[in-house]
Amino acid sequence: MDSPSATTRPPPTSGSHWQTPASWGIKDAQEQNERTTHNLEHGGIVIAYSPTLTAEDVTKLRSLARGLMNSSFRKIILEPYQQLSDAKIAVTAWTWILKLPAYDETQITKFVRAHYQSSDAPEPNGP
């Protein structure tokens, strides 16, 4: 179940961040937390996955992210996340996190729909 983040355990869901956000899209390498936190401030979603996620599930996750970005949810980052040790996938929005033990398209999509450009984010209409 997704819930407000009351922890500082990675990945972050809010906090101090750099002046410039990361570009949206599918990444082959992990972005700095201080950069993606700025993306969350703009109402975006960051989907992080553990290096232990299977290649098959990474392929599914990339396909899902592309599909979401090609529909109404262009402000998404998908990235590998080295420090993710208590889940296989973590989906974050400003002050919200969903940690999953395995790929779950339904739960990821529900989270994105619920928290994309949410009024919880300080600047939900930011670029």
What CATH number has the domain bearing residue 37?
Answer: 3.40.30.10
Please tell me the least confidently modeled range out of 5-9, 29-33, 67-71, 78-82: 5-9
- 75 lies in some domain: yes
Q: Which residue has the tokens 């400003």?
A: 94
* Tens digit of each residue's pLDDT (9 = 90 or more) over 17-40: 888 999 999 999 999 999 999 999
Q: How far apart are CA 123 and CA 44, in angstroms?
A: 10
Residue 14 falls inside a structural domain: no
- Is the pLDDT higher at 123 or at 36? 36
pLDDT by residue (tens digit) across 73-122?
999 999 999 999 999 999 999 999 999 999 999 999 999 999 999 999 98
* Number of domains into which the chain is organized: 1
pLDDT the model gives residue 5:
45
Q: Find the domain containing 80 and state its range.
A: 21-115
- Residues 4/92, Cβ–Cβ less than 8 Å: no
